[in-house]
Structure 1
């Protein structure tokens, strides 16, 4: 079984779909870890999950969804549905973050969030990703993996439901990312 904690580095054949599929698998593993653990392990896993979800969705909103909109055959409705799912998940995630992993209702909330996020991922895998592979040249898909990594590197580390479009992420994302990273740095020592 591959080491999913190891960073996925772009190989000569890795494309944006490969990258996003690997992230979907890591997200699923983190949900299992959050749900199945307690204490500091749960807090750390939840923090990792929040950061991965925030970066992953920002990259999709900046790179993948705008490209998918350009594909033939009703792509706007498909992308609008994915964006609505992402917005709802961000709202739920924001509530879970505010309460913390020890809050009443966290166990139910994290399971509901997991179900929503994994359903969203399956819709992307079934409808959006195959269309990308069908209509976008392989070399462009490989270069998009680099673009997704760049978007993730500057993405906020917390969900921001109001910044959900490429324009919104590009306008507000860098400022939100700085704020989130400062908040993360300030909070980390106090959790020790």
Structure 2
């Protein structure tokens, strides 16, 4: 199972796009594990997926999307608003799945729908946002943004929360929610459930 305590660690020459692409691949792998496993293995894979999705999207909302709004030829607000809308819808579905748990009758169908939505969202980022970042942002800044994304992920909530639905809300309440989530994650991990 992928190590999601440290999502996709960038090397010294990797930039933020490399980091996010590695995390997209990690997310796709986790979906395969959740869908293909049962029992505790499924619960563990789902917990890893929830955590990675939560920290990944928080960092994108705080760092990547605001930067992409201002890039030349990037579609500005409409392109970013489309990505944010996709993230909000996925977050609602994810929250419902977390509340119902992997043993819920609707889980199998809902996780496939979520997978399709999340992977489509990732492909849009890869097709529209990431090339613009590489084209218009200096390489040194892209490398430093990888560290900024990592820092944002380290202070991000690890679960979907209704009060943290925007970059501003994430910045305001995210660190407090992150502490609560991370304590809960450690307790869950140590208790084996």
Give the alignment's TM-score, normalised by structure 1. 0.93
Shift of the 80–162 alpha-carbon distance from structure 1 to 2, 3 Å rule, reads farther
Residue in structure 2 matched with residue 38 of structure 1 by the alignment: 38
Query: Secondary structure of 2:105's partner?
Result: coil
For the pair 1:52 / 2:57, whether they are aligned, the reply is: no
Q: C-alpha distance in 2, partners of 1:142/1:161?
A: 32
Q: Aligned partners of 1:162 and 1:119: how far apart in 2?
A: 25
Change (3 A) 1:56 1:140: same
**In the alignment, which residue of structure 2 is the partner of 1:29?**
29
Deviation at 1:190, TM superposition (A): 4.8
State whether residues 94 and 114 of structure 2, in contact with CA within 8 Å, keep that contact through their aligned partners in structure 1: yes
Give the structure 2 partner of residue 20 of structure 1.
20
Conserved 8 A contact 1:58-1:164: no
Runs (4+) off by over 6 Å: none
| Cross-structure match for 1:184 | 185
1:83 and 2:84 aligned? yes
Question: Paired residue for 1:117?
Answer: 118
Structure 2 alignment gaps of length 5 or more: none
Q: Distance in 2 between matches of 1:13 and 1:189?
A: 35
- Structure 2 Cα separation of the partners of residues 179 and 72 of structure 1: 39
Instruction: Tell whether the 8 Å contact from 1:83 to 1:164 is kept in structure 2 after alignment.
Output: no
